[in-house]
Structure 1
Amino acid sequence: MKSVRIGSVGLGRLGYEHAKNLSMLLPGCTLHAVCDVDEERLRSVAEVLDIPHVYTDFAEMCTDPELDGVVIVSPSFLHVEQIRIAMEHGKHVFCEKPLGIDLAQCKEAEKVVEVHPELVFQLGFMRRFDPSYAEAKRRVDAGEIGKVVLVRSYTQDPRSTIESTLKFAPHSGGQFLDMCVHDLDLVRWFTGSNIKNVWGLGGVFEFDLYRELNDADNAAVMVQCDNGTMGFLFTNRTHAAGCNVETEIIGTRGTLRIAPVGTKDLLQIVDEHGARQEYYPDFMSRWHTAFLAEMQAFTDHIRNGTRPTDMTVYDGTAVSEAAYRCKESFETGKMLPIR
């Protein structure tokens, strides 16, 4: 098996998760280099994961002739430029969401990818790689629940991480762009239809910082697709029990439910506090298998000379555009069409 050599940029929480997976858990893959502007963090991670090459300059990393591809987990405003630099140097690209911080950047990313059809481009919509979501998609496509009528999806981060969440909030892009994008992607994926209208709702129920940011600490979205399918999405970052992600797909002939309770396993604990099941403590543990699977898919595409067929740069633009309109709808109080 040909070993695929990867360089990864960004060593925050998710960047480090990807680095660990690439360096330790993926067969046929070598994490050849890492890049980060924090030199102390960079060298510490390289030492722990035994990565031979370190860079503080992304463009310099991309000049390395031994690299086959790059994984971009840097701040969102850097994504488009880093996609361009990587592809101009002949590197395959995996990019975390979102494509950019506005629609113009997303369109720019489309143009860059279009110029390099010989290169793999894959987006970080990891829920598509989760075994339960993939099985639900298979059953939807097989017509087992008839026509999809409604997709309901909740994304709730744990309250235990609220301190780091509040530090991240000013740079996150807001609840709709940072969190709802995954749910919006699921709506498009399960329905096979583009989003037509959105109505963003929400409020500040506890944390005043979100009011200063013209954002919400609890937010919801009503969605209507081109084919008439409906969606209801809810998000917050203060779920007391831990990381909770649940999705329900209602069809004319049946319903599929994924994690109606976001427990980490099937264990039920019975003690002096009563009976309970424990949740995943954070999104890293909830999506560990999916993060591995999406990186395996990326490196397999490079090795086999194939391309993702159902997840393209245009999906990234469509989902980001819907998220931007959700934010605008929330700010204006009006249901808005997708332009």
Structure 2
Amino acid sequence: MDKIRIGSVGLGRLGLEHAKNIATRIPGAELVALCDIDTEKLHRVGKELGVRHYCTTFEEMLAIKGLDAVAIVSPSALHCTQIAQALERGKHVFCEKPLGTSLEECRLAEKAVEAHPDAVFMLGFMRRFDESYRYAKEKIDAGEIGRPVLFRSYSQDPISCIDGAIAFAPHSGGEFYDMSSHDIDLARWMLSSEPVSVYAVGGCYAYPEFAQYEDGDNVSCLMKFKNDAMAFLFAGRTAPHGYNVETEIIGTKATLRIASVPQKNLVEILDRYGVRKECSENFQERFAQAYLHEMEAFVDCIRSKRKPSVSVYDGTAVSVIAGKCTESFRSGKLIAI
């Protein structure tokens, strides 16, 4: 089979990561088109990656002859409409999380996927492709930790990225959609269950700019799942030490911890500050291999004509839960799911 010809929309931090992976690191794939409204960035990145087609609208990219698939890394509110448009034009679709920022948007995407059963649709929950998380999932499924009791997950962005978070706030859907989607997906995946209730709290502790969007800069929630397991999630935008994602799963027989001490690598620095380890600076660095593995899986699904392990329904479930977390955060009430 010839190379899978892919066009990618959105050249933000993650869009750039996906574009580079498709163009330079994935055998069997070819990045033939880029789409972004920033024409200066579009042509600069396109020239760097050797892309033939430069588009400023999604519709223009879909019209390119011979395009097999698209990677959607655009603002969250555009995802579901672009998914439907791409599938209707006969393209395979990879889309970044969240699937949508409302149930109505997610249903639109579901109907589009169902109407095109021969097309490959994959949602970008990249932590499922991280080697440490996959290893932990195997341990849980094998019964090695006994019955899961508590899932705890922290996602903290470095304060150095706060300007980008504020700029993205008007169309992010809120911190539970923007940051906690990955944690929600991991909880469902690792606990093999669905939540039945959620109570969320938080606020604008350092940046009141988020308040105008009924959002916070640090939020948390407690969930109860159908199998009686508990989950505690925390999302923060003001970590002074760097990018920090850590997860713990407590079972009746054992506990699993993933990156409980965030670190850039295995190097220890001994200097006038003492003995210390550096943290990853951003999500691209921490999950570089996971982003590569998930795009490899997408391309392999197209070539082998199989369905990905992450479905559109996973995306809907996570978005619904994120919405309930947001509702609880704004109302201060316990919300049933």
- Give the alignment's TM-score, normalised by structure 2: 0.97
How far residue 168 of structure 1 moved from its aligned partner, in angstroms, is 2.0
Greater shift in the superposed pair: 58-67 or 143-152:
58-67
Q: Does 1:185 align with 2:185?
A: yes
Distance 1:275 1:287 in 2: 25
After superposition, what is the alpha-carbon deviation per residue over 1:262-283, rounded to whole angstroms, capped at 9, x for unaligned?
Answer: 1011111111110100000111
The 3-state SS of whatever aligns with 1:109 is helix
Distance 1:271 1:43 in 2: 44
After superposition, what is the alpha-carbon deviation per residue over 1:203-249, rounded to whole angstroms, capped at 9, x for unaligned?
Answer: 22111112222211111010111111110001101111100000001
How far residue 57 of structure 1 moved from its aligned partner, in angstroms, is 2.2
The 3-state SS of whatever aligns with 1:257 is strand
1:212 alignment counterpart: 212
After superposition, what is the alpha-carbon deviation per residue over 1:270-303, rounded to whole angstroms, capped at 9, x for unaligned?
Answer: 1111010000011111111111000000001011
Distance 2:190 2:169 in 1: 29
Q: Which runs of 5+ in 1 are unaligned?
A: none
Distance 1:67 1:147 in 2: 47
Alignment of 1:270-281 (within 5 A): 270-281=270-281
Contact 2:81/2:108 (<8 A) preserved? no
Distance 1:107 1:148 in 2: 31
Q: How many residues align?
A: 337
Please tell me the residue identity of whatever aligns with 1:257: R
Contact 1:217/1:237 (<8 A) preserved? yes
Alignment of 1:176-255 (within 5 A): 176-255=176-255
Off by >6 Å, runs of 4+ in structure 1: none
The 3-state SS of whatever aligns with 1:221 is strand
Distance 1:149 1:34 in 2: 45
Distance 2:75 2:170 in 1: 12
Contact 2:177/2:323 (<8 A) preserved? yes
After superposition, what is the alpha-carbon deviation per residue over 1:191-213, rounded to whole angstroms, capped at 9, x for unaligned?
Answer: 11111111111122111112222
Distance 2:281 2:116 in 1: 40
After superposition, what is the alpha-carbon deviation per residue over 1:158-209, rounded to whole angstroms, capped at 9, x for unaligned?
Answer: 0122222222222221111111111111110001111111111112211111
The 3-state SS of whatever aligns with 2:106 is helix
1:317 alignment counterpart: 316
Contact 2:32/2:52 (<8 A) preserved? yes
1:135 alignment counterpart: 135
After superposition, what is the alpha-carbon deviation per residue over 1:115-172, rounded to whole angstroms, capped at 9, x for unaligned?
Answer: 1111111001010001100111111111111111110000000012222222222222
Contact 2:77/2:172 (<8 A) preserved? no
2:149 alignment counterpart: 149
1:65 alignment counterpart: 65
1:47 alignment counterpart: 47
2:290 alignment counterpart: 290
The 3-state SS of whatever aligns with 1:37 is coil
How far residue 32 of structure 1 moved from its aligned partner, in angstroms, is 1.1
How far residue 40 of structure 1 moved from its aligned partner, in angstroms, is 2.1
1:171 alignment counterpart: 171
After superposition, what is the alpha-carbon deviation per residue over 1:37-56, rounded to whole angstroms, capped at 9, x for unaligned?
Answer: 22222111111111111112
Distance 2:55 2:204 in 1: 41
The 3-state SS of whatever aligns with 1:261 is coil
Contact 1:2/1:303 (<8 A) preserved? no
1:9 alignment counterpart: 9
How far residue 250 of structure 1 moved from its aligned partner, in angstroms, is 0.8
Greater shift in the superposed pair: 158-167 or 184-193:
158-167
Distance 2:170 2:70 in 1: 27
Contact 2:120/2:307 (<8 A) preserved? yes
Distance 2:214 2:230 in 1: 27
Please tell me the residue identity of whatever aligns with 1:331: R
Contact 2:77/2:171 (<8 A) preserved? no
The 3-state SS of whatever aligns with 2:199 is strand
Q: Does 1:20 align with 2:20?
A: yes
Please tell me the residue identity of whatever aligns with 2:216: A
- Give the alignment's TM-score, normalised by structure 1: 0.97
